[in-house]
Structure 1
Amino acid sequence: MPRKSYADDIRRRVVQDLEEGAPVGEVIRKYGIAEATVYRWRNRFSRAALSRDPENLRLEEENRRLRDLYTEAALENQALRERLQRR
């Protein structure tokens, strides 16, 4: 029997319910999904699992670096504007 396919929004809602403290049994009944599927989604899509993803870590580091560059450029821009106003 082929595996049943679920939409991404259903997966996100299931994982969100679990992260908010809903018992697995309740989530299984609410969505009509197999227990193994719920655990697999939790392991794959939870915030903790995503935070360990190497690509996600790389993007977070790049985001931090770009924010720092933006802040530095904004401060430099402000200083230059103040100098121009004094002239």
Structure 2
Amino acid sequence: MKQSRFTEAQIIGILKEQEGGTPTAEVCRRHGISSATFYKYKARFGGMDVSEAQRLKVLEDENSKLKKLLAEAMLDIAILKDVASKKW
């Protein structure tokens, strides 16, 4: 996945700027993002504070690690079942 140019804190700052009354097109032009990107950021980070966004990032990282561990465990179980089911 492509890395974002902006940190979570910067994205929230951009959203707050628009909420302050600046037109969306002006905010997008000033920061060099498309309106689609702006609304994607708004859908993900809208209404959040910086601390909440950092907490979300930590939880997403932990979730991905747990998914990898689960996938490895399920693979090990499938291999063991396959070996056990073969007749010698």
Structure richer in helix, relative to its length: 1
TM-score bracket for this pair, using the shorter chain length: 0.3 to 0.5
Per the normalisation by structure 2, the TM-score is: 0.45
State the structure with bigger RCO (CA 8 A, min sep 6), 1 or 2.
2
Per the normalisation by structure 1, the TM-score is: 0.46
Query: Which is greater in Rg?
Result: 1
